[in-house]
Amino acid sequence: MIAQVVGFDKDLVLPSILVAFSVLAGYVAIQSIYYLYFHPLASLPGPFFARITDLYGGYHAWTGRHHYRLYELHKKYGPVIRYGPNRVSFNSATAVKDIYGATKPLRKSAGYRALLLSGNVFSLFTSIDKSFHGKRRRIMSHGFSDAALRSYEPIVQERIDKFLEILTKEAGADGWGASKNMSRLCAGLTFDVMGALVFGQPFKILEDESGLSYVIDAIISASRSVGVMVHLPIFGKNNILFKIRGLFRLLFLTLKDLKNIKAFLALSAKLTRERTAQEAAKTAGEDIVKAQGVPNKDILGWILAATDPETGEHLSLSDVWGEARVLIIAGSDTTSTSLSGALYYLSRNPVILNKLRTELRTTFSSEDEIWPGQKINSCSYLKHVIEEALRMSSPVGGILWREAAVDHVVQGVNIPAGTDCGVPVYSIHHHTDYFHDPHVFNPDRWDENIVGAEAVAAAKSAWIPFQIGSRGCIGRPLANMELTLTLARIIYSFEIRVDESKRSVGQADVIPGHTEFETKDQLTAETTGPFLQFKKIEA
């Protein structure tokens, strides 16, 4: 009866399904044959499934291990592999320059469109158009100038003060503080710093982890979901799928994740409106916060005051909100990963730890002297420790994809227009052509007096934690300040030991035979541990 009403014969349902399935199977087979034998990239080596579908890369991104998988694939197939029907991974310093150099004819992959929220407002990080990116970077650069960085120093130091207080909280009779999960604690520090620098007020996660700690959880879960989509470029290139990308994200989020993300977006929108209103309420020359002789005390203050170099217009509220969200994520999660990694390796290498402490205690007479300036810049071993931590525990371990706008040659390989290519950071940071014993934490590899100028030059050519070129990280000087001040003050003032009951937390044989600080790489890195204890060194 129902079949008669709706107008179809139930006896035809099964045959129709079989026909549809056959057509789909035929299409997939024909497309796979094309990708394998007739596509312009058909001659490049790579895993079978990676050569015919982006789902291969999407799956490994979902596991959080795609950076380790890329390392294994390059070991197996060589310096050039096909990591998708239209994606190529290169593992050489030559490719770094050919792909990420400022004058190269490549733009950010269309896959990054999947990062956009409702309203499709592009930010400095998500922008694909090179002209838009150049204009936006000129505006954003005001918030990262030397004058701006100097104005941020007291804010950063105040949050580090609070961070150091926590290290020996609940200390026992022997002076050793309670065991701390340094990934979580370092995240609390960096999110607090960025809250203060972006919105003019810290999130105060260090004071009350049960309060706004959902901010950390929201960033982790959001990065996990959109990180998969970046490896499925069809969501950026197909307009229909682009419009329903939000539904796809739900596959990777729990109800708690959604609640945290919604709360973070609401909080960041509220703080952006408040900060923008404060700026708008000012009149020329009035009620401007002075900080070491400059007119703005936070990043939004600088950005709100800046204008488009061509139109003279200020950023809209939606633009400011978009940049604020990205600044919180990029400036927090990434720095905490490298700081946690540095503490992991220092706590397990007492010779390196003591050498660093000796340098700091020889340079400074007290912890109060540890500020940005000539003295801390003279601490070459501190610099090398941070460089090595960024190599071993880079904030981004996978590939930042770039799309060729025209046919382009990378490392001698022709890349057709529309093809994505890139260099996997973890792979090149562990390449024996550039780093001797690459799985060993060795700050001396950055010292010309020990390994020679040629070895250091080779290492630097393959060291890309902040990327290079016009897309290089705009916040690099700020990240360096945070890492340098925090690490210097910790090592100067505290003894460190591993909580032996939790020694294995955070470490893994990420590559068979090589134990390292484990990072899960989606859009940014997710880490756990190390669990450490601290004891104040008596003056």
**Residues that constitute the known binding site:** 473
Q: Which residues are annotated as a binding site for heme?
A: 473
- What long-range pairs does 175-180 form, CB within 8 A, spacing at least 24? 175/535, 175/536, 176/497, 176/533, 176/534, 176/535, 177/533, 177/534, 177/535, 178/533, 179/499, 179/501, 179/502, 179/531, 179/532, 179/533, 180/531, 180/532, 180/533, 180/534
CA–CA separation, 216 and 385 (whole Å): 26
CA–CA separation, 195 and 428 (whole Å): 33
**Helix, strand, coil fractions of the chain, as percent rounded to 5:** 60, 10, 30
CA distances from 52 to 17, 36, 82, 138, 225 (A): 25, 7, 10, 40, 23
Residues in the chain, how many? 539
Could you give the count of Cα atoms lying within 13 Å of 263 in the half-sphere of its Cβ? 16
Q: Are 92 and 425 in contact (CB under 8 A)?
A: no
CA distances from 156 to 161, 162, 493 (A): 9, 10, 18
Tokens for 81, please give them: 């592999």
DSSP 379: -
Pairing of strands 420-422, 87-90: parallel
DSSP 44: S
Longest dimension (CA), the chain: 92
What lies within 8 Å, CB to CB, of 445 at 6+ separation is 384, 388, 435, 436, 451, 455, 456, 459
Query: How many C-beta atoms surround the C-beta of residue 288 within 10 A?
Result: 16
Tokens for 217, please give them: 């959880």
Amino acid identity at 472: G
